[in-house]
Amino acid sequence: MEIRSVLGNAAILLLLGANTASASSDDAACKALEQALAGATSISLDTKPLLAHTDELPSHCRVRGQAVGKVGFELRLPLQADWNGKFMLAGCGGFCGQLLPDKPGYSNSINEALKQGYAAMAHDSGHQSPSTADTNWARSGDDQAVALWAAEVLPTLVAASDTIINLYYDRAAQRRYFSGCSNGGRLGLVAAQRYPALFDGIAAGGPILDLSGNAGVQGAWMIQQAWTPEGEPRFTPAHIDRLAAHVRNACDHLDGVQDGLIATPERCQPDLAALRCTANTDAGCLNDAQLQRVAALYRGAHDGEQQLFPGLPAGSEHLWPFWITGREGQPAWGQQASQGFLDIYRGVPAGEHINPATIDVVAEAQAMSNSPLALSANATNTNLSGLREAGTKLLLWHGWADPLILPQRTINYYESAIKENGGAEALAEHARLFLVPGHGHCWEAPGQAPDLFDPLHALDKWVEENTPPAQIVARDALAPEATEATALLCPYPQRAIYNKHGPMDEASSYHCRK
């Protein structure tokens, strides 16, 4: 629908008259959005648009409201003279439900994009919750909220941003990008599979692409290994610290570099029996039952010899207390998120919970994958031909030390996509996967090696120059000038190989090779 016909000439003239190149006109143009948007029936404002000034961010027009009466959003618009002509939509983590426009970093965040001149939008995906692990909203009978969270939030917010951007700048964005991690990464793959022409480029990190498999099958399995049926942790931080040191000592050297980092976790097979308690062992040793549980966590959910879902990667142990095993009497975030999915799957009324110990993972694995939420939210379709037809680029990445969203599942997806889309070279022209050694889940904790990079910058360079990224340099800190250590990230199946000379903590000392 044409914006001019919806809003009327008077509102358009008011806005355009305000858009002159001066500080006062920037303020007037921002304020004029309130009247100009009065005729846009799919958008309502929560607060009046205002010109925002902060020490950390460039001046920008801040627009907060709701799309289709449901999806809370905040769109930050650079001043007319500062806009690079592009738009970026961020993802949201977990089950969303919170509007977090000032979330720092590159994971489901917008401010780093704003600093580069992008119009950037954050959102809550269509519902409001006390935490991103909460799923009461999905068990309240609101089918629209579930559909929005699963996928429909993407075209909904692109339409809303198109309207506002056209009004504020009097022209459309020349590029549209999506950038998200975790559930935001899942949304990125939803875009690639269902809406390939919606964006020019998609950055998807640590994607929970197989929601029912990761949060359901593996989630129940993980909870049963790490927690008793009564909800008590089976492991203390001392157990995990001892395990982490043992695994690191056993597998650090497997990539040819002794640097305290497990860069090839798929090759790591530590002797867990060395951790068994004896009469003379120190604190942190593991008894036979605990050793069996640890081995099961590494292996992943399985039925005899049949693998139901990949297991936790070696090198991720230091992150288990936060994501998996709990700490200081607090449940782990992964435990809460998996509990939320299982409650939806079993149809438990809002406010109630099932006991994950009652889930027979083997017997119910297929039922979980056929559940209504899985059918609407899983992003496992390996046919990415739509990307090629639309000219859209997909930048995938995953932390090799991610114990929450298992990296091997993303690798399996990419391997299947290679077969489905004409081979590795053909797929790599429009979709590439980067594995990040030492990186956990979406930068929620410091990496064991430099792991910070701007996916939007790498994606935009790919789109504008039409040259797939041959490598990415990761750093230790958000500001490049604040760090010395760097790491080389390579497109799968290549990995960084040490040149046998140069500092081990500099990307220039490595090259990419299969």
Q: Give me the phi and psi of 181, to 5 degrees please.
A: -135, 150
Confidence bin at 313 (pLDDT 50/70/90): very high
Q: Show Cβ contacts of residue 422 under 8 Å, excluding neighbours closer than 6 positions.
A: none
Asked if residues 247 and 262 have their Cβ atoms less than 8 Å apart, the reply is yes
Q: Which residue has the tokens 């203390």?
A: 236
The model's pLDDT over 208-241, given as tens digits with 9 standing for 90+, comes to 999 999 999 999 999 999 999 999 999 999 999 9
Residue 332 has pLDDT above 70, yes or no: yes
* Predicted pLDDT at 180: 98
Judging by beta carbons within 10 Å of its beta carbon (0-12, 13-18, 19+), is residue 230 exposed, middle or buried?
exposed
Other CB atoms within 10 Å distance of the CB of residue 494:
17
Output the pTM of the full model: 0.94
Residue 5 has pLDDT above 50, yes or no: no
The model's pLDDT over 34-80, given as tens digits with 9 standing for 90+, comes to 999 988 889 999 999 999 988 999 999 999 999 999 999 999 999 99
Q: What is the 3-state secondary structure (H, E, C) of 385-435?
A: HHHHHHCCEEEEEEECCCCCCCHHHHHHHHHHHHHHCCCHHHHHCCEEEEE
HSE-CB of 346 using CA atoms within 13 angstroms? 22
Where does residue 347 fall: left (phi above 0), alpha (psi -120 to 50 degrees), or beta otherwise? left
Q: Which two tokens stand for residue 485?
A: 């250590």
The model's pLDDT over 374-396, given as tens digits with 9 standing for 90+, comes to 999 999 999 999 999 999 999 99
Residue 12 has pLDDT above 70, yes or no: no
